[in-house]
Amino acid sequence: MTLQSVLDDLRKLPGTGEVIPIIDPATEETITEFTDCGPEAVDAAVARARAAFESGVWHGLPGRERAKIMWRIADLMDERAEELAQLDSLNTGMPLAQARMIVPTCAEFFRYYAGWCTKVNGTAHDVQMTGGISGAYANMHAYTLKEPYGVVGLIFPWNGPVFNACAKLAPALAAGCSMIVKPAEETPLSALVLDRIIAEAGVPEGVVNLLNGYGHTAGAALTAHPGVDKIAFTGSTEVGKEIVRASAGNLKKVMLELGGKSPVLIYDDADLDMAIMMAAMGIFVHSGQGCVCGSRIFVQRGVYERVVEGITTVANNLKLGGPKDEGAMISPLISAKQLTRVMGYIDEGKRDGVEVVTGGHRLDRPGYFVHPTVLTNVDPATSRLYKEEIFGPVVTILPFDDDDEAVALANDTTYGLAATAWTTNLSRAHRIAKRLQAGTVTLNCQLVFDHAVPFGGYKQSGWGHEFGREGIEAYMQTKSVWAQL
C-alpha cells in the first residue's frame, strides 16, 4: 500500500457519525478525514468478536499454531516497517528517524508473546486439608486452568499509535481472546495497515475487529457494552475513571495504563553530564507526550544551579520540527486542543509567579510547536502545573537537601507510574528505589524498556501490568478444578 492509498482507504470507511478530520500537527493541514463508525458498528463488532470466540476458531487452536501466525504478523510488520513508520510520523508529527526505531520494537511484541502461547499453564495442587463435607480430602486432586477472558476492547492513545497497539494486541492474541480495536481518533492511520497485516498473517475473521471513531462515541459505547468482558485502555487518568464507571454495568474487568507526573532525583554525586542530558531528553522527547516523561526534577542543592543551566542549554539547542524538517529532534504537540492545554498551564504558572528559565511560548511557525520549557520557583503546594499531568515539553526543577526530603517531594503526587534516581552511590540508589512510590524505577538511566519486564502504575497511574508474563496473564482468568479420585 502507498501512503496515499491508506489516506484514501480511511476516507472510504463506512460510518454514521460525524466526519473527523485528521490534521498534520507539523503543518496544521488536513491530511484526510473519516466518518465516526457509529453505535451500530460497535454492536456489530462486538457480535463478530463474540461469535469468533464462542466458535473457538482462535483460542481453540493449539498454542503452537497461534504462535506461528503471530510470528507471521511480526515478519509482515518488518516487511512494511517503512510504511508503518511513515504513517506514524505523519500522523503524530514525530521525526521519521524516531518512528523508524519504534516499529521494529513493535514487531517484537508478537514474537515475544508467540513464545508464551505454549508456556502459560495452570498449577496442580496437593490437597492438604482433612475433614470437610465428604469427611476426608485424602483422595482429592485440585488444579487450575488459565483461560482467555473472551471479548476484550483495546483502546489506544495517540502518542505512540503502533507501539501501543502492539503492546495490547500481541498478548491478547497469545491469550486466545477475541477483540475490538479502537485507536485514538487523532491517529488512525497505522491501525488500518496493522489490521490488514493481522488478517494477511492468518488470524481468523472476527477475532480482531477495527473500529474508528471518537472516544466519547465509539470508545464510550465499547466500554459500556454488555457483550465486552474486559477493557484494556491506555490514556489519561481522567478518561480512565470514566471507563471504570462505564464498566460497572456488567462488571467487566478493566486494565488501565494511565497518566504520570514522574519525578527525577539528581544527586550531587551523579554523573552530571549524563544525568542532565537524559533528564532533559526524558521530558522533551516527543514534546513531553509520554506517560513516563520525567516532568518533575529534584536536584541536590549543591549542584542545583548547574543542573538548571545544563537542562536549559539542552532545551535551547533541540531542533523542533516535523517529519520533513531535516535534523528535527523534537516533534509538535498532537493537536490544537493539546496546544491550548499546554499553554494554559504555562500561562497560569506565569501569573502565579513561576520563573520561566527558558521556553514558555509557542513557536512562530505553522504547527503545534511549544519551545521546551524549564520552570523554577514553583510552589509544590498550590501550583497546578506542578501537580497535574501536562503532557507537554514542560519541566519544573526544585532543590532538595537529603534523601528524606527528596523522597517526600517525589512521592507527593496522586500518580505513581515511573521515577528515576541519578547517583553513583549504589547503596543509596537501591534504598531510594524501595521508597519511591512508582511502578517502574530507573537508576542512572531513563526511558528504558524490555518486552519481558512488567510495566504498570501505582496509585492513580493505573490498574494491572503490561509486558512480560504479567502482560499475557492480564488477558486470562484462573479456574480452579476439584476432583474426587
Q: Which residues are catalytic?
A: 257, 291
Residue 436 CA to residue 453 CA, distance in Å, equals: 18
> Where does 280-364 show beta strands of DSSP type E?
296-300, 355-358
Integer-rounded Cα Rg, in Å, for the chain is 24
**Burial grade of 439 (CB within 10 A; 0-12, 13-18, 19 or more):** buried
Helix (H, G, I), strand (E, B) or coil at 236: coil
- Per the CB < 8 A criterion, the answer to whether 19 and 11 are in contact is no
H/E element, 48: helix 39-55
Residue 111, number of CB atoms within 10 A of its CB? 18
Residue 288 main-chain phi, psi, to 5 deg: 70, 10
H, E, C per residue of 182-202: ECCCCCCHHHHHHHHHHHHHC
Could you please report the per-residue DSSP string of 104-145?
HHHHHHHHHHHHHTTT----EE------STTS--TTEEEEEE
Residue 141 main-chain phi, psi, to 5 deg: -130, 140
Strand 373-376 and strand 394-400: the pairing is parallel
Amino acid identity for residue 141 in this structure: H
Residue appearing with cell numbers 512494511: 80
- Per the CB < 8 A criterion, the answer to whether 334 and 320 are in contact is no
CA 81 to chain centre: 20
What is the DSSP-derived secondary structure letter of residue 258? -
Residue 337 CA to residue 230 CA, distance in Å, equals: 30
The upper half-sphere exposure of residue 26, i.e. CA atoms within 13 Å in the direction of its Cβ, equals 20
Helix (H, G, I), strand (E, B) or coil at 329: coil
